[in-house]
Amino acid sequence: MTEPGRDAPVALVTGSSSGIGAAVARRLAAEGMRVVVNSARSQEAGRKVAAELPDAFYVAADISVREQAEALVAAAVERYGRLDVLVNSAGVTRVVPHQDFEGASAEVWREILDVNVIGTWQVCVAALPHLRAGGDGCVVNVSSVAGLRPAGSSVPYAVSKAALNHMTRLLAAVTGPEVRVNAVAPGLTDTEWTADFEEPRRWMRTHSPLRRVGTPEEVAEAVLAMINARWTTGEILLTDGGTHLR
């Protein structure tokens, strides 16, 4: 990767120490963007990702805490003087069978919603003034096919992604023309989160139209496509190997 210029766009990617977020950070850097890498816990891994990229840096922040979400955005703007792209990739889940009503406790609901919905909202609110300042800001939320059909690792997780999809459309309706807001909704993707999802992986190989699990790099390409889709806002892009057709 070549060193980006001083006028290169700046992208903040939350939850980018591993998996989809890390792949997005690497892909945007390859496009010449200056990237802010973030995680709440995997700080060593986050610093390693940032060290791989030209003119990138790492900020540890738990987006479910408003002050930390605001500090994350402030750190990006202080470092680079601008913010052009926000990719909300930070998310959590818990594997709870949908019929296990007791397992989906209030604590599980709060943990998931605090990050996937409220945390994402807090970063968006902090970032929007800076995204608007450039006149061509862009937000891409990393959702899930579970937000569009009755599936997913747990009911709270699926509901959080459905809420994120609706948040995407609601924000898109009021942030234009300066800011576009879209989402990508991946299906089962090969990350450390899904390493032991044996039955879903088997189903993908035998029933989904493309007969395989996706990769983080393929989701990153979808994120980049939404960043570049300059006449598109309020859209949820499915990238799931055709799973939704089944």
DSSP reduced 3-state for 119: helix
Q: 36 vs 66, 79, 167, 232, CA distance in Å?
A: 18, 9, 23, 24
Residue 58 annotated as catalytic: no
* 12: nearest Cα among 32, 33, 31, 37: 37
Catalytic-labelled residue, pool 57, 80, 121, 157: 157
* 23: nearest Cα among 204, 224, 203: 224
DSSP reduced 3-state for 89: coil
* 15: nearest Cα among 86, 91, 81: 91
Q: What amino acid positions are annotated as catalytic residues? A: 157
